[in-house]
Amino acid sequence: MRIGIVNDMRAACEALRRVVNSLPDHVIAWTAVDGVEAIAMAKRDRPDLILMDLIMPHVDGVQATRQIMTASPCAILVVTATVSGNISLVYEAMGFGALDAVDTPMLGPAGEVSGAGSLVDKIGIIAKLVGSTGEPRKKSGTTTAATPPRLLVVGASTGGPKAVSDLLLPLPQDWNTAVIIVQHVDVAFSQGLAKWLGDRTHRAVRVAEHGQQPVAGDVLLAGTNDHLVMSKSRTLEYTEEPKEIFFRPSVDVFFESVADHWPQTGIALLLTGMGKDGAKGLLKLRTRGWHTIAQNEASSIVWSMPKAAIEAGAACEVLAIDQMPRVISARLTG
């Protein structure tokens, strides 16, 4: 896999170079010192993956991500000095198409690199994605409703945070519907993403708890590196299986479990994302009578996931993200 490095700090660049050079089958495509240079380099020589810093002069990593994903889209991993200290910028970058985020490894006085484990792991996951080679939570005490609510289930990946926020904002606040979102995001960011979505949409967005049964008004987000599933008893649970699926949490696994175990039909959405996760699950929901919608190409940051679903015949409709709330409201509040 060919990797571009974007960072204005010499020590950080050197640490990243050493990490990439230590990995078999990965090479450095180029190095850029700020967002302006990164945008130009990506246009001239698009790599498989860009390691993108956030805080840089001239054009920061958020705007560089936005422009690269518009003009020459490729996988982008945010690599910044402190993810927790820049969490708002991290989610902005993810909204424009960055896949994930990780702290920058440190270069020691003797030239040793520390803190590279998470970066190496994420590069490995992204390599699989682009085709180059927590403990369970306590059971919720939520009181269940006598009649289960309608469900709006959402799957998203690259560019998903912004798409989900744009989707949720216009939807009714008071309706007999629970919203459950599976977004490809590491467990380290799930609580922060829930808060970010809540702040942007003025809703109580929460991470789903193991054993929780959805009730009307819930907006729940898959929150661990295990798969979220709907159980036979209509509760949300986390499971390691199937272990061979490296998308974690998997949209397919969740959608298929909902098709098998939820007692009434609802609406399922497959939004912007890289790869094909969600296509099989969306098709299964459609065959069970659910109304299925795939995001259109023009409003997607990366159209791979919706496109795969459309090609599989899984989508009843193909809509822009700003068209979806009206259709959803008409179907679920009627």
Query: Which CATH number fits the domain that encloses residue 207?
Result: 3.40.50.180
Q: What is the pLDDT of residue 174?
A: 84
Do 303 and 174 share a structural domain? yes
Rounded to whole angstroms, how far apart are CA atoms 155 and 99?
14
Q: What distances in angstroms separate CA 33 from CA 4, 78, 80, 81, one per listed residue?
A: 11, 15, 14, 15
Residues 39 and 67 in one domain: yes
Q: How many CB atoms lie under 10 A from the CB of residue 168?
A: 21
Q: Which residues, listed in sequence order, are joined to residue 156 by a DSSP beta bridge?
A: 183
CA distance to 139, 180, 238, 325, per residue, from 212 (Å): 6, 12, 11, 26
Q: Which domain holds residue 102?
A: 2-130
183 and 297 assigned to the same domain = yes
Among all residues, which ones are annotated catalytic? Answer: 157, 184, 277
Q: Are both 113 and 204 inside the same structural domain? A: no
Residue 226 lies in a domain: yes
Tally of structural domains, the chain: 2
Q: How confident is the chain (334 residues) per 10-residue block, as mean pLDDT? A: 95 94 91 94 93 95 95 94 90 93 88 89 89 42 57 97 96 92 92 94 93 92 96 94 90 98 96 96 97 97 97 97 96 82
What distances in angstroms separate CA 50 from CA 97, 122, 225, 262, one per listed residue?
12, 12, 23, 40
Residues 123 and 184 in one domain: no
In a domain, 49, yes or no: yes
What phi and psi, each to the nearest 5 degrees, are found at residue 297? -65, -40
Based on the fold, state whether residues 237 and 318 are members of the same structural domain.
yes
User: At 65, which CATH number?
Assistant: 3.40.50.2300
In this structure, are 157 and 123 located in the same domain? no
β-pairing, 236-239 vs 227-230, is: antiparallel
